[in-house]
Structure 1
């Protein structure tokens, strides 16, 4: 409990202070609700209109999780291929960097035209925003393996494959999880963006309908949920990281 307070307690208090300040300023300036709702208005909408909002929660969560798993798996496979095959790395790595310069909001309509309004274009959008952090973080982790350990394994007759799977890959786990934590936040963003462009349900659909009807309190409710979901995914991956990489620093 004490560790939690040291790490997150002060941030929570500061966030609470910002909400209180927001509430006070909105009330003092008498800002219209359609322009900027107070946090209490957003909280009221979360309780009164939960039945409306709840139907959009699960589609976004499932879409973000499936896209995160696919994007992370593809990113890790690409990173292994590029690291194990230097010539392929020289050819394709610049193309991967260029692929990240294409705005997702521009690419998404094309994917819908090519693949329709089903699940496939949405998963492609999420995978595209998730795989690159995994590729970069994983390759950095592979390269940061201690040279003396690699040299020792070569001396005892380990093959290139054994060196990778028994030394380089385990050593890169902290870097891989760093990429996963970034990709987790991106997956929620990608899910919402894909829902903007064509979906029957989801937080992105809820947000679009709220904007069109000037229900800004509902827009902020969707924003807060997106932030909360991103934090939860980040925390889950961090917990898994602690379980899998536990004791690594002590062992080193």
Structure 2
């Protein structure tokens, strides 16, 4: 109970700030005579979020699936490539220039190519999210696997441990904090990528809702979709945080 109370107290500043922003927002709309299509009131946004004429659950499901798929693909490919770079200097010299080149490409310009290559649907949105989010995982994985206390490596050599065993027992646990830190960045990047994919071409999803709301100047609907997108991103970020507490409690400052 003491820990729960402590956690709840930690949320008080964020809750107070949120309520203050809502109050200022409502006051600005009510007394500032701001047009609803420029800035809707919090009440109108809430009404839009609860509007049963809109298939919110279908849109949330489509976007959530794209975001989670993008995150998992970025995490898996990033860890694999980062491990390959740390394992072999030859692979590092071969892969790094290509990965840097890929990361510098304008991602929005690549989205139409995904439509040509894989067609319409959720897959191009997943690929877009993964493309935006995988690079930090690659770099942090490679750094985490490489920057390790040499005494630990020497200890493995003293016991004649093969390279793969040193990798599995020493290098990979050492890389956990680096990888998990990158996954927190990727959790937000996957959201951006998936929504960009929905902006380009999609018949469902929260990004599609935002695009269609522009034609009717329904700003409250766009705000409602943005809030749902933020909730999905926050849930994914929180899931990575929980995973960090389990895999690397020493890095999170928590007890195992």
Range into which the TM-score falls when normalised by the shorter chain: over 0.9
Residues 203 and 78 (structure 1 numbering): CA distance in 2 closer, same or farther, change over 3 Å?
Answer: same
Kept in 2: contact 1:129–1:186 (CA 8 A): yes
Match of 2:189 among 186, 201, 207: 186
Unaligned runs of 5+ in 1: none
Equivalent in 145, 157, 160 of residue 157 of structure 1: 160
Describe the superposition over 1:71-115 as per-residue Cα deviations: whole angstroms up to 9, x where unpaired: 211111101111101122122213212212212211101221233
CA distance in 2, matches of 1:101, 1:34: 36
Distance in 2, Cα, partners of 1:16 & 1:108? 38
Is the 8 Å Cα contact of residues 74 and 131 (structure 2) preserved in structure 1?
Answer: yes
Q: Is the 8 A contact 1:75 1:135 kept in 2?
A: yes
SS of structure 1 residue aligned to 2:55: helix
Matches within 5 A, 1:1-252: 1-49=4-52, 51-246=54-249
Query: CA RMSD, aligned part only?
Result: 1.9
Whether contact under 8 Å (2:62, 2:122) holds in the other structure is: no
Residue pair 1:126, 1:191 contacting (<8 A) in 2 also: yes
State the shift of 1:16 in Å: 1.8
CA distance, structure 2, for counterparts of residue 8 and residue 98 of structure 1: 41
2: distance between equivalents of 1:164 and 1:136?
Answer: 17
2: distance between equivalents of 1:102 and 1:11? 37
Q: CA deviation at 1:55?
A: 2.3
Would you say the 8 A contact 1:67–1:123 is kept in 2? yes
CA distance 1:247–1:50, change in 2 (3 Å): farther
Say whether the 8 Å CA contact 1:196–1:204 is kept in structure 2. Answer: yes
- 1:35 Cα deviation from its structure 2 partner: 1.0
Q: 1:142 deviation in Å? A: 1.2
Deviations 1:104-147 (A, max 9, x none): 21110122123321343222212111211211121121123222
User: Structure 1 length as normaliser, TM-score?
Assistant: 0.92
The alpha carbon displacement at 1:54 in A equals 2.6
Q: Normalising by structure 2, what TM-score?
A: 0.91
8 Å contact kept, 1:53–1:206: no
Q: Residue 134 of structure 2 contacts residue 186 of structure 2 at CA under 8 Å; is this kept in 1? A: yes
The count of corresponding residues between Structure 1 and Structure 2 is 251
